[in-house]
Amino acid sequence: MRPIQVDLGDRSYSIRIESGLLDHLGAEIRRAVPQPSRAVIVTDRHVGRLYGPRVDRALRRAGFPVDRITFAGGERNKTLPVASATIDRLVALGADRHTLLVALGGGIVGDLTGFVASIYMRGIPFVQVPTSMLAQVDASVGGKVAVDHPRAKNMIGSFYQPRGVFTDPTVLRTLPEREYIAGLAEVVKSGMIGNPDLFAWLERSAADVLAHSEAAILHCISAAAGLKAAVCSRDERETGERVILNYGHTVGHALETATGYDRFRHGEAVSVGMDVEARLAERLKLCPPGIAERQRRVLATLGLPIRCPRAVQRRIMEAMKHDKKSRAGRMRFVLPVRIGEVKVVPDVPQEEVWGVLQGDRV
């Protein structure tokens, strides 16, 4: 498959998607990032155990001296103290500005490693080697790097682009099924915000996706990562169009906050969020009736959650009111106008949102 380009002038990079890529990662990285003298793999314990030695070998074969930093993983560890401990290790290893960080893992590893790369010695190069579905279809692309603050997700971070994204879909074979499915929510999102063909393909091909067909997986990754690459190439820092990637996330993030980040995986919360937001769009007559139902059918067929637990509805409203995009009783949403197109609606009255949420009686 031809690499997908993210066009950002001197910060441009490509996304390579290929089965078995992990085994020639060193050579691929050498081609994409000519300068580095050594590599430091940053990974979580689980992924490190599964793929650390293989990546280590592939990098050494290409002539890189290699070190590895492993942290516990999980949203609970995407924090400033863990970033700081990672920096301590880099200092101890004598890492300098020519050291390349290799983020090997899911979105947690990617976000934290990118954040560390963005501040260590005022910025050192890093590459993404995403291993979860969510990271392969979404999180590894676009250069949003961050750690969480105890009070808010992704509160401390910046835009800092990787030098390349190296995606090997075969690593998804060891991914727990729940994680695999959670990542698919971002693929549905991609169809809804800008690729009606992808959405229709998901409607037809859900069984292939659920059967882990290699061709189906490749299609999901290339279509979703491709759309995100195109959007981020036009609007790197979310001053305009990039905001459409947040479809489903206003409610989704609030749901994650309201449930303490351990009940829903990120993708699951986005699935619930897209359902609420599509019904909101119908209620506001922004899109024709039936869109929410069509979307719900795809989400449910893929095994994604849709219903928003009743017990947390009030807390979701509270979390959204504190969102930086809310003002004077009105909330900003990205809402569908049809399958494959969304628009930003800056002034949705809170009562309308509450009305839609209450439609959920679980």
Ligand X SMILES: NC(=O)c1ccc[n+]([C@@H]2O[C@H](COP(=O)([O-])OP(=O)(O)OC[C@H]3O[C@@H](n4cnc5c(N)ncnc54)[C@H](O)[C@@H]3O)[C@@H](O)[C@H]2O)c1
Name the segment binding ligand X (CB under 6 A); options: 5-13, 14-22, 40-48, 329-337. 40-48
Q: Choose between 3 and 74: whose C-beta lies nearer to ligand X.
A: 74
Q: Is 75 in the site for ligand X (CB under 6 A)?
A: yes
Per CB under 6 A, 44 contacts ligand X = yes
Q: Is 132 in the site for ligand X (CB under 6 A)?
A: yes
Tell me the H-state helices in 211-334. 214-234, 249-258, 266-283, 291-301, 313-321
- Binding to ligand X by residue 162, rule CB under 6 A? no
Q: Should residue 113 be labelled a site residue for ligand X when binding is judged by CB under 6 A?
A: no
Q: Which lies closer to ligand X via its Cβ, residue 84 or residue 174?
A: 174
Using the minimum distance from each CB to ligand X, give the nearer residue, 24 or 54: 54
Binding mask 278-317 for ligand X (x = CB under 6 A): ----------------------------------------
Q: Is 124 helix (H, G, I), strand (E, B) or coil?
A: coil
Is residue 98 within 8 Å of 142, Cβ to Cβ? no
The Cα-based distances of 4 to 9, 57, 95, 189 in angstroms read 15, 26, 30, 19
Q: Which residues from 215-254 bind ligand X, rule CB under 6 A? A: none
Binding residue (CB under 6 A) for ligand X from 142, 162, 252, 305: 142
Question: Which of 111, 168, 236, 277 is close enough to bind ligand X by CB under 6 A?
Answer: 111
228 is catalytic: yes
Amino acid sitting at position 64: F
Instruction: Count the Cβ atoms, other than its own, within 10 Å of residue 231.
Output: 23
**CA dist 85 to 40, 139, 147, Å?**
14, 23, 13
Q: Is 149 a catalytic residue?
A: no
168 near ligand X (CB under 6 A): no
Burial, 324: exposed, middle or buried (Cβ in 10 Å; 0-12, 13-18, 19+)?
A: exposed
Kindly indicate which of the ranges 120-128, 171-179, 219-227, 335-343 contains the residues binding ligand X, using the contact rule CB under 6 A: 171-179
- For tokens 């905001």, the residue is 243
Closest to ligand X by CB, 75 or 208? 75
User: Is 253 one of the catalytic residues?
Assistant: yes
| 3-class state of residue 254 by DSSP | helix
CA triple 317-79-126, angle to 5 deg: 115
Other beta carbons within 10 Å of 285: 8
Closest among 9, 7, 5, 11 to 161, alpha carbons compared:
11
Active site annotation includes 246: yes
Is 238 annotated in the active site?
A: yes
User: According to CB under 6 A, which one of 25, 41, 108, 254 is a site residue for ligand X?
Assistant: 108
| Beta carbon nearer to ligand X, 14 or 77 | 77
State the Rg of the chain over Cα.
Answer: 20
Using CB under 6 A as the criterion, which residues of the chain lie in contact with ligand X when the complex forms?
A: 44, 46-47, 50, 73-75, 78, 105-109, 111, 131-132, 134-135, 138-139, 142, 144, 154, 171-172, 174-175, 179, 265-266
Give catalytic residue positions.
Answer: 122, 144, 186, 228, 238, 242, 246, 249, 253, 266
